[in-house]
Amino acid sequence: MSQADETLSPETIPAKRKSKRVAIYTRVSTIDQHPETQLYDLREMARQRGYEIVSEYSDKISGAKQKRPGLDQLMADAGRHKFDVVLVWAFDPMARSVRHFLEILDELNHLGIEFVSFRENIDTGGPLGRAMIVIVGAIAELEKNLIVERVRAGMRRARLEGRQIGRAPLKINREQLIDDRCSGMSLTERRSIAYRGLLFAA
């Protein structure tokens, strides 16, 4: 066999690398928000990495809600090995707490599925990426708790200073209300009479 034939033999030709199948997950907090911005970034990232997008999942729901149809379907399809990578715009919208987030990562890890975050530029394909996920997740949870505590402290200080928090209490003339009810007058009718009285007084 000549040197040329040996060079072109099947054993010496590297097999074409199969592109990884990727699932994209997005979540926005309210129905007024749209996931298109996240989707644009994630689709572009998948294209640059040579990923094949096989599924896209989305939720429009608060981060604290237990039920997330999009995430639940993603995890169900992960169990069926429908993709090799989960790609998200940021990891904090994916779970309602650090504990929940780590549970998701642990399940994906057991299934051999990588987790990639666009904003944090973190990839769990290696041990460093997995460690960074835990650290950044813990910091995000700490920041959230600090914000909640600052709000509560501000409300306590306002109460001590005698300031009104929230709506002012509704002032009701209970005796007049009872007389109106006994006479068959509804609250709406009483309001209408009071409003007309204010107009004439002006």
Residue 117: CATH number of its domain: 3.40.50.1390
Question: Do both 109 and 197 map to the same domain?
Answer: no
Six-digit token string for 34: 């749209």
Q: How many domains is the chain partitioned into structurally? A: 2
Higher pLDDT, 182 or 103: 103
| CA separation for the pair 90, 66 (Å, rounded) | 19
Question: Do both 46 and 99 map to the same domain?
Answer: yes
Question: Do both 87 and 137 map to the same domain?
Answer: yes
Question: Do both 137 and 179 map to the same domain?
Answer: no
- Its pTM stands at 0.57
Question: Do both 33 and 132 map to the same domain?
Answer: yes
| CA separation for the pair 102, 108 (Å, rounded) | 10
Question: Do both 51 and 132 map to the same domain?
Answer: yes
- Residue 196's pLDDT is 53
**pLDDT tens figures, 118-135:** 987 888 877 777 677 677
Catalytic residues: 29
Which residue segment(s) compose the domain that 46 sits in?
A: 17-141
**pLDDT tens figures, 136-181:** 667 777 777 888 888 888 888 888 877 776 666 666 666 766 666 6
Nearest to 85 by CA among 121, 46, 47: 46
Question: Do both 101 and 191 map to the same domain?
Answer: no
Q: For residue 158, is it within any domain? A: no
Question: Do both 64 and 102 map to the same domain?
Answer: yes
Please tell me what DSSP assigns to residue 172.
-
**pLDDT tens figures, 61-102:** 765 666 789 999 999 999 999 999 999 988 777 777 777 887
| CA separation for the pair 22, 84 (Å, rounded) | 6
Q: For residue 152, is it within any domain? A: no
| CA separation for the pair 50, 125 (Å, rounded) | 15
Six-digit token string for 159: 């109460």
Report how far apart the first and last C-alpha atoms of the chain are (Å, whole number): 110
